[in-house]
Chains A and B, each alone.
Chain A
Amino acid sequence: GEDVEQSLFLSVREGDSSVINCTYTDSSSTYLYWYKQEPGAGLQLLTYIFSNMDMKQDQRLTVLLNKKDKHLSLRIADTQTGDSAIYFCAEYREAAGNKLTFGGGTRVLVKP
């Protein structure tokens, strides 16, 4: 089956690190993604990781993948108020056709 789960809400102080977690069930996922959705806006691709990688760093963003536990995380260093948004993880499985399966989204609130 295909199921991607995320916690609903995360509150963090400006300047601290945020860690958003995601679990997925299908071990055949080939790519895992993080999208950001600001209020009233579309889905912005932040970063993605190929399933044979453990970690990917892109400026303030660090993605960690634990394939054994089917756990994906996104760490945002030095979180800013502009990082307040909903963050979606998504998996892509070639065997399932060209589509993404999304988690429910984690709402991140950055407090000054």
Chain B
Amino acid sequence: EPEVTQTPSHQVTQMGQEVILRCVPISNHLYFYWYRQILGQKVEFLVSFYNNEISEKSEIFDDQFSVERPDGSNFTLKIRSTKLEDSAMYFCASEIGNTEAFFGQGTRLTVV
């Protein structure tokens, strides 16, 4: 069964460093998303991406965040200068356009 894959599963980084979280969405899907879940809190929407551009972003998704689909298969989330409060589980999701979003296993980001 096709699935969304995310790498790495766990990333530890120092405050102020840049991180790139990687996702391979399901191959025929057209819409791509990043969500995050701070420990003990709700899953929060960060950004949606369609047709090679951001279609919507939340207040969390400030100038420190960027997304890219560099090669037609990967979908990346970059955080330029990480802060302690960026520590969270980051989920990538994709959908073909029928509103059934499939999520990856998540990347746990720990900023120290």
Contact = CB atoms under 8 A, between A and B. Distances in A.
A60 B93 CA distance: 26
A100 B37 CA distance: 13
Given A43-B91, A98-B50, A102-B35, 7 more contacts: A31-B99, A45-B101, A98-B48, A99-B45, A99-B48, A99-B56, A101-B45
Most buried by A among B35, B43, B93, B103: B43
Interface in A1-41: 30-31, 35, 41
A88 interface: yes
A9 B99 CA distance: 28
25 contacts: A35-B103, A41-B106, A42-B6, A42-B91, A42-B104, A42-B105, A42-B106, A43-B91, A43-B103, A44-B103, A45-B101, A45-B103, A48-B99, A98-B48, A98-B50, A98-B55, A98-B56, A99-B33, A99-B56, A100-B35, A101-B45, A102-B42, A102-B43, A104-B41, A105-B42
Interface of B: 4, 6, 31, 33, 35, 41-45, 48, 50, 55-56, 58, 91, 93, 99-106
Interface of A: 30-31, 35, 41-45, 48, 88, 90, 92, 97-105
